[in-house]
Every structure is written in C-alpha cells, then in structure tokens.
Structure 1
Amino acid sequence: MTSTSTSATTAKPATPEQVLRAPKVALHEHLDGGVRPATVADIAEQIGHELPAAPDQLGLWFADAASSGSLPRYLETFEHTVAVMQRAEDLARVAKESVLDLAADGVVYAELRWAPEQHLAGGLSLPETVEAVQAGIDEGRAEARAEGTPIVVGQLLTAMRHAQHGLEIAELVVQYRDRGVCGFDIAGAEDGFPPILHLEAFEYLRRENAHFTIHAGEAFGLPSIWQAIQRCGADRLGHGVRIIDDIDLAAADGPRLGRLASYIRDKRIPLEMCPSSNLQTSAVPNMRSVADHPIGLLKDLGFRVTVNCDNRLMSGTTMSREMQLLVDAFGYGTDDLRWFTVNAMKSAFLPFDERLALINDVIKPRYAAL
C-alpha cells in the first residue's frame, strides 16, 4: 500500500539535531524488546544460557532475525531476552537500563509493558516480578533525574493472549495501580486468539475503573479491532494499523472512512503506531518502506496517531530514529512531531492533571525552544 498522504507540512523538515532534542512520549514499549545486547550477553553468561551469537555480534543477530521475514525467527529473539529476565535482580537491571536509555533519548514519559507470567521460571511470584521491575524503574528514574533528564515511567502489565491468565494479571494491575502500574494489555499471537477470549479480565478492569490497551489490528484485521473496541472497551489500540482496511482509498472524492474507522476517529481512540516494527512484520500488505506506512494518511485524516518503537532491540531503533524516519518519509517539521507527542501524552495512562503538567510545562516549552 502506498500512502496517499496529501497534507504535507508547509514548514521545513525537522533537522536531525531538532529530532534528537525534541521531548518524546513512548506508549508502546516492550520491556523484553528493549534489553541492551551487552546485558543479554552478561546475564546469559551468569546463568548459563546459550546465545545464538557472540556477544559483540548479538545486537546485529537480533536485528537480522527480526527483519528476516520469518515469524519463527522473530519470535526466537524473545526467547533469549525473556530467558535473562527470570531473577529479581535481572528484572530490576533491565528496567533500570531501559529507563536510562529512554531518558537519554529525550523521552519524558514512557509506559513499559511486559508479561509477568513469562518471568516465573526462577521461582519468583507474580507480585515479586512486579516489585522487581518497579525497583529498577525507581532507580533508573532517580539516576536520570540526577543526570538532568527526568522521566516519568509506568508499568503496563501484559497477559499473553494464548494463555489463561488474563483475569489474574488484571487483578495484579489493580493491586499495584497505586504503586507504579498504570494499566493492562494483552499481547502475543493475534490471529486465532481474539480479544474476546479475555473478556472477563476486561470487564473486571472496567468495574475497577482501570485503564487498558489491546494489541489489535497488527497481525489480524478489522474483526480484531472491532472486538477490542466494541466488545472489550479498550482505551487505546496497540498498533491498530489495519484500520486502513476500513478506508476506501479509491473513492472519487478522496479517502472515505467506513463505520469502524469513523467511530475510532470520532471517539479519539489512540493508535499506538510503530513504523519500523510494522515494516518488519509486514503488518500491512505491500508496505515496502516507512513512506508506505498508513501513519501519514491517518495523520492527515485526523486520527489520534502516536509514534512508538515497540521493540527497540529487535528493530534496532529509538524514538528519535522513528521520528527521523517519519521526517524523511513525509517531510514533517517540528510542529508535526509536537502533534504526535501531545497526542501520546493526552492518551497516557496517567492522571489528567499530571498529563496536563507534562504537556504545558515540559513538552510545549521544549518544542518552542527547538
């Protein structure tokens, strides 16, 4: 699919220096997808886990496997990152380093999503995994603040959609929501495991006034998106890129939205889009480059679009790189990047007054200074 983006910015494209300096908000950031290669190698040596490449080649191996076009090879990458995140000290280390890496890239707010049920092999309980990750986040935030790069970070607890732990993880979200956990998600194989399988968890979260997002519209199309929104009540859509299937690009009077696409736009339901990751996994047919990604068209049409990395390690990317790719593809200026960032901050699982403070006191002034 070739983007039919028509409202190209009239401002000059943002410079690489401006992109690096710009404040950023990361809503879709997998903890086990952002581990430092050196950390993977170090912990693997400590625990005796065999790796597929030498330590100095590990980062390249992850990127090559994730870009291979083979789903089994892509999924294999997570076997190694999850394997080195089974002890409390390792979960804390990975969380701390993720916070520091994001802060160094100019991220001022982030939600780190991860699946506690995948981190019990070392004997930890579910609460102990959450507490270990929070300890790492707290340490990372304190260090980032001391270095002059303050960042706000929340945990998003994920249930694997092919398993049966949805309600248990949802209860964990509520248990820890005043201690660093900001919301819930389901992830994993989308095709064959629709959101409705975890309806009990979503109904519980709604009764408890808790926030949740759902991976939908990445590896499966409109039925997955419809269920996530209309049956489960998702606050946001993880990826949601296949909403493009409900937009008639050949209409004589310009792109024409179907009922579902119109509903999502009208309700301002945020789309957590991940350009590099979507390209790697062929989330949209015939997408050959970021310039073909629907994000350009969806922005033009007024959807609440946000920019994210998904898995920094697997995609060999950062928030700055994702923004730069959009600048290169669509000619975006700093006003466009600010629009994406404010969208994301408005959509964060954070109390309204705290969101507003970050927008008015941090994001807008820093963009104005670029």
Structure 2
Amino acid sequence: MSQQLPTLEEIRRAPKVLLHDHLDGGLRPGTIVDLARETGYDGLPTTDPDALRTWFREASDSGSLERYLETFDHTVGVMQTREALVRVAAECAEDLAADGVVYAEVRYAPEQHTERGLSLEEVIEAVLEGFRIGSEGRGIKVGTLLTAMRHQARSMEIAELAVRYRDVGVAGFDIAGAEAGYPPTRHLDAFEYLQRENAHFTIHAGEAFGLPSIWQAIQWCGADRLGHGVRIIDDIAVSGDGEPKLGRLAAYVRDKRIPLEMCPTSNLQTGAAPSIAEHPIGLLRRLSFRVTVNTDNRLMSGTTVSEEFAKLVEAFGYDWDDLQWFTVNAMKSAFLPFDDRLALINGVIKPGFARLKWQA
C-alpha cells in the first residue's frame, strides 16, 4: 500500500530542527509596528501590519537587491533597544516552537544593534534573555550564532564574544554579507582563533558567489558548515543520461559530510535557484550530501520550516522518511554536544516521526 505524502498540517506536528535563521529576518509585522512607535522609528512604508507583511514579501520578491536590503533596514531599525531585542527574540522562540521546531540556531550580527548606545555585550545578553523567556515550557531549545559582517573589520571582536558566551547560550559564530569582493579569507585571524579555542562556526558561502567562495570557506577558513552552499552544484556535471559526476570540491564536501544549510524559498528570491522543482537540493539529496532545510528569513520569504518541507514534498514527492532524513542531518550538524544531539535524535525526532508515519 502506497503511503500518502505528508500534508502541511501533518508536517507542522513533526519535530523539526532549524540551523539557518536570521533574527532580524523573522519579526512579526505587528511587532515591527509596535517597536517603531515605541522607539520613534519613522521609516516604515506603512503602519498597517497586514499591509506591512505584504510589503516585505513583495520587496523581497522584486528581484531588486536594493529593495531586498531595504527590508532589513526596517527590521534592524526597530531592534536598537534592550526591550526590543528581548521581545523579538522571545517571539522568535515562540513562533518556532509553534511550528514544531525542537532545536534552532538563530543568528544575528550584534554590531548592527548598537545605534542607540547598547554595547555588544548588552545586545548579546538581551537576545539570550529573550530566547530564555520565549523557550520556557515550549519544548524548544534555541542557541544563537553571533554573526560578523564581511565588509566590516570586527570579526575578531565578535569571535571573542562567541567564545566568551558559549557556555550560556551562544552556540557558535557566523560570517555574512556580500560574498563578491569580500572573501572569508579577509577574516582568517578570527577563524584561526575560533579553531584554537575549539569553537564552532559556519560561513555564508556559495549563495551569491560560486565555487571559490565555498573552497575558501572550507579549505582556508575551516568552516564546520556552509551557509547555503547551493553553488556546490556547479561542481557536479550531469550527463545526457542523467548520470552525475562529482568534481573534486563537491566530492570533498560530500565525503567529509560538510553540512549544507539550504534555504529553498530564499534561494529563489536571491536568484540562486530558478524554482523549487529545479532547486539543487533534489540532486544533492539523491547523492546523499549532508543537506539540511532552513528558512533564512521567515518574514521576507513568508515561510516556516514546515512550509519549506511542504514545498519540497510537492516538488520532489518526499515522504516521511525523507523529511526525517533532513531533520536528522540537521540535528547531527548542530553546534551542540554529542550527547545532547543524540538525545534529541533518539528521544524526540525519531519517535515523533514514527508516530506520524503510523498515523498516516
């Protein structure tokens, strides 16, 4: 008897893991309006929450990089006080838990939230407090990734803070921003420091820029994971009969089980993939790369982890076993101690999927 494919509502009940989600890309529109009023931020295109949600989505789908970046001007613009950061982080945890996420790593750049006088430490502590509040009693654990910006020169400072706060909720370090012209090797001192300190880090690579970005992130900087990494597909040649041949870099990424933090809807918006059905995730999953499924920016993409999974089910016919495979991949790749990862895989994820498969 053929098994019915998972529906969106069923997927929402599945225990999920999220590794690539930006705090400033997931605010509730109503919260943006409230915080703009409370902080005196007057740059919003509209103060109607529903219209604002639509504006964010349309600006992100416009194909204009300028309009897409403008969306973050508004979210970051209202996240400049301790109270705002606590609220945004708490609501983030609540929203993820409501979507069935049991473990998440949410990233943000502390240096972007100091315009009103907060120190980097005060920013970090406010976000940690918000996640503590929002996670309490909701069956979710949230770790943070401290992000440094590629075009700035504060990566060592942020890396040191990631190490300082790693025992109280900071799971690791990230670097983000425009790839072209700002290679990760510009921040080599920070990555070498993190390796000396036995700290975890991921690098945005292989999204807007190609294979050289991925190669540098892995071979020069030693990244544990690749943020997006979608352009690894450029190192896989598919013959006329559909037989794939991996290049040296793609083979290395697969052989070393380097996790790929894929964000399907976001990749469409940035032009990294033409459609969900043509997204490289289909081939990469078939070739058993360490693929994970993520949201990137839930507000801008109008998405959740469950909705990302549902789109992949529709495009590729994935069943419960496929969704569990993606989820276990993500949990294996999380910046958590081994025992904690194993406990979630064997105690929460596998039993949760088994129940859903049985009910189906």
Partner of 1:53: 46
| Percent of matched pairs sharing the same residue | 68
Q: Alpha-carbon deviations, 1:198-244, whole Å to 9, x = none?
A: 10000000000000000000000000000000000000000000000
Q: Is 1:132 aligned to 2:126, yes or no?
A: yes
With 40-49 and 57-66 compared, the bigger mean Cα shift is at 40-49
Residue 45 of structure 1, CA deviation: 1.1
SS in 1 for 2:18: strand
SS in 1 for 2:277: helix
Q: Is 1:37 aligned to 2:29, yes or no?
A: yes
Q: Alpha-carbon deviations, 1:74-95, whole Å to 9, x = none?
A: 0000000001111011101000
Q: Structure 1: give runs of 5+ residues left out of the alignment.
A: 1-9
**264, 271, 276: which one pairs with 1:282?**
271
Partner of 2:69: 75
Q: Is 1:118 aligned to 2:112, yes or no?
A: yes
Question: Which residue identity is paired with 1:310?
Answer: D
Over aligned residues, Cα RMSD in angstroms? Answer: 1.0
SS in 2 for 1:314: helix
Partner of 2:19: 27
TM-score normalised over the length of structure 1: 0.94
Q: Structure 2: give runs of 5+ residues left out of the alignment.
A: none
For 1:81 and 1:112, locate their aligned partners in 2 and report how far apart those are by CA, in whole Å. 15
Pairwise mapping of residues 257-268 of structure 1 onto structure 2 (< 5 A)?
A: 257-268=246-257
Residue 253 of structure 1, CA deviation: 6.7
Q: Is 1:195 aligned to 2:184, yes or no?
A: yes
Q: Is 1:225 aligned to 2:225, yes or no?
A: no
SS in 1 for 2:146: strand
For 1:302 and 1:91, locate their aligned partners in 2 and report how far apart those are by CA, in whole Å. 38
For 2:69 and 2:239, locate their aligned partners in 1 and report how far apart those are by CA, in whole Å. 36
Aligned length: 353
Partner of 1:5: none
**311, 325, 329: which one pairs with 1:343?**
329
For 1:96 and 1:174, locate their aligned partners in 2 and report how far apart those are by CA, in whole Å. 23
Residue 17 of structure 1, CA deviation: 2.8
For 1:341 and 1:220, locate their aligned partners in 2 and report how far apart those are by CA, in whole Å. 27
Q: Alpha-carbon deviations, 1:275-318, whole Å to 9, x = none?
A: 0000011013xx1x200100010000010000000000000001
TM-score normalised over the length of structure 2: 0.96
Residue 12 of structure 1, CA deviation: 3.6
Partner of 1:245: 234
Partner of 2:10: 18
For 1:358 and 1:247, locate their aligned partners in 2 and report how far apart those are by CA, in whole Å. 33
Given that 2:8 and 2:307 are in contact with CA atoms closer than 8 Å, whether structure 1 keeps it comes out as no
Residue 11 of structure 1, CA deviation: 4.8
Question: Which residue identity is paired with 2:117?
Answer: G
Residue 18 of structure 1, CA deviation: 2.0
Question: Which residue identity is paired with 2:8?
Answer: P
Given that 1:23 and 1:363 are in contact with CA atoms closer than 8 Å, whether structure 2 keeps it comes out as yes
For 1:12 and 1:258, locate their aligned partners in 2 and report how far apart those are by CA, in whole Å. 37
Residue 250 of structure 1, CA deviation: 2.5
Given that 1:16 and 1:324 are in contact with CA atoms closer than 8 Å, whether structure 2 keeps it comes out as yes
Given that 1:18 and 1:334 are in contact with CA atoms closer than 8 Å, whether structure 2 keeps it comes out as no
Question: Which residue identity is paired with 1:263?
Answer: Y
**109, 116, 121: which one pairs with 2:103?**
109
SS in 1 for 2:351: helix
